[in-house]
Structure 1
C-alpha cells in the first residue's frame, strides 16, 4: 500500500473537514530532491497570512537549503536522533517569535502573551501549504535551544520555537528499521476528547 493510500484509509474524520488537514503528517524519510526557493517561499507566503493578536505577526523564519554552507550550522543544534534523518531534508528552518510588539496607537513596545501561539498559527499554515504542494514539513522540538540561538545569531527578545525539516517524501531507505516501521500517519484523539460544551469537564484532566 502506498503512503498516499495509507493516509486516506488510516485517517477517517468524524465530521466534515477538508482533506488537507486530515492528510497532513510528518514523515522522516525524505528523498534527495532539492526544493526550489520559489516553492519554499510559497510556504512562507501561506504563513504570512496567519492570524495574530493586533496583527503583530511575531513569526520569523530562518532557513538553509541542503548543500549550502549554512545547512550544517542549522543541523548542529538538533539532537542526534533528529540529525540522523533531518540531514536528508531539502531545507532546514527555525521558527522564531518576537516577544514584544507595539500596539496600535501606542509608542512603547509591550510583552505579547500570544507570541508563541501566533507563530504556531503561521507554522500550521506553512505545513498545510507544503502538503498541498506535494511536499512535507516535519516540526521538531528536539534541539538545543541555547545552541540554536548562539549559532543562528538570534538576539534577546526572540524565542526559538521549533526546527522544521522540509522535503519530498521518499521511500525511507536511509532510515533505520525501527524508524522505517513508524513511517506512517499517526492517529488522533476523538473530537469528544478535547471539545466540551459548557464548563471544564473532568475528562479533560486525562
Structure 2
C-alpha cells in the first residue's frame, strides 16, 4: 500500500539487498486475516535464526482470534492501541533465560528473520515495546524463567489515511545513522 519511493527515504552507504531497505514498521494495518500457511511461513523463517549452542531460546505466543487479540489489547499501552486495534495477528516475543546468557541476543535474531520473511510474503510487522510486561505475564500465564521482549503486530498494510492525524505524519520509513557512527575500529570511541 505504500505510495512513495523507498529511495526517497532510505539509501545504503554500501550495496546491500534491497529487502533490508524495504522493511520498515508501518502502523496502518488492514483487518484482512493472514492465512495459516503465510503466517506459519513467517515463523518458520524465525526458526532458522542462529543461536548459541543451538539452544533456540525464542518463543512466540500468538493471537489471531478476536478473543486472543483482546487479551493482547489488555496489556498494550494506549499510544500503541491508537493504531493496532485492527491488527489481525500479534506475537509476543519471549525467551528462555535458562538457555544462557545470549538468550535475548539470539531471540533478536529470530525476530529479524521473522520481519524479513513477513516482508517477502507481502506482510508488514511492527514491534512494540510500549506494553505492560507484568500484565502480559499474568494474562498469558508466562513462567518467570521467560524474559518478555516485544509485541509484534503482523498483517497487511492499509492506507495511511485511515490513521489518526498525528500518526499519518509518521507513516513513512525512517532512515538510519551513517555506518561511520556505528562502527568503531580497534577500540571504543565516543
TM bucket, shorter chain: over 0.9
Match for 1:115 among 103, 107, 110?
A: 103
CA distance in 2: counterparts of 1:130 and 1:88, whole angstroms: 18
Aligned twin of 2:132: 144
Spell out structure 1 runs of 4+ moving beyond 3 A.
none
**What per-residue deviation string (whole Å, max 9, x for no partner) do you get for residues 129-175 of structure 1?**
11111110100000000000000010110011100101111102331
CA distance in 1 between counterparts of 2:84 and 2:55 reads 31
**Aligned partners of 1:6 and 1:185 also within 8 Å:** no
**CA displacement, residues 15-59 of structure 1 (integer Å, 9 cap, x when unaligned):** 011111111100001112111121111110110000011110000
Match of 1:86? 84
For 2:56 and 2:3, the matched residues in 1 are separated by: 34
Any conservation in 2 of the 1:75–1:92 contact (CA below 8 Å)?
no
1:125 and 2:113 equivalent? yes
Q: How many residue pairs get matched?
A: 190
Q: Which runs of 5+ in 2 are unaligned?
A: none
- RMSD of aligned C-alpha atoms? 1.3
In structure 1, runs of 5+ residues without a counterpart are 102-111
Secondary structure at the aligned position of 2:62 is classed as strand
Aligned counterpart in structure 2 of residue 164 of structure 1, from 152, 169, 189: 152
Measured in 1, the distance between the counterparts of 2:161 and 2:14 equals 36
1:46 matches 2:69: no
TM-score by length of structure 1 reads: 0.88
Task: Please give the alpha-carbon distance, in whole angstroms, between the structure 2 residues aligned to 1:131 and 1:84.
Answer: 23
d(CA) in 2 for partners of 1:165, 1:12: 26
Partner of 1:13: 12
Give the secondary-structure state (helix, strand or coil) at the position aligned to 2:162.
coil
Cα distance in structure 1, aligned partners of 2:69 and 2:30? 17
